[in-house]
Amino acid sequence: MTTKYASKKVRSLSPPPPNGDAVVPAGYSTVYVLTQGAGLTIVNAGATPSFEISAIGDYTIHTLVYDPNTLDLSIVELGVTTGFDVNGLLVQGGGAICASLDVAGLLSQRWNVR
């Protein structure tokens, strides 16, 4: 689920593009979330699943499908908020917000590291 990088050089994490079979209800948005370490600390997010990293560590890319009217992503503080924190807000994690977070993330062997 994660991969470790032993170089301090900037690396680009670019997994294969989504295959288009995701179910995204009308009014919902998709964001890709980059987490670091077993604690899933959120270090970046974006509209595409492509990120640059410059620190040694374990990284996972997660997909979040959410309704911007019910989940305010401004609550995320990069380097502090975790994927577990966000998941806890969602119905799937015991919270009240209808959204979907792929907690396991993308498999590391599918990442294209340059």
Out of 72-81, 83-92, 104-113, which region has the weakest mean confidence (pLDDT)? Answer: 104-113
3-state secondary structure of 10: coil
pTM (2 d.p.): 0.81
pLDDT tens track for 15-39: 666 677 778 999 999 999 999 888 9
Quote the pLDDT of residue 15: 63
> Beta-carbon neighbour count of residue 24 at 10 Å?
12
Q: Is the model's pLDDT at 74 over the cut of 80? A: yes
pLDDT tens track for 41-67: 999 999 988 888 877 778 889 999 999
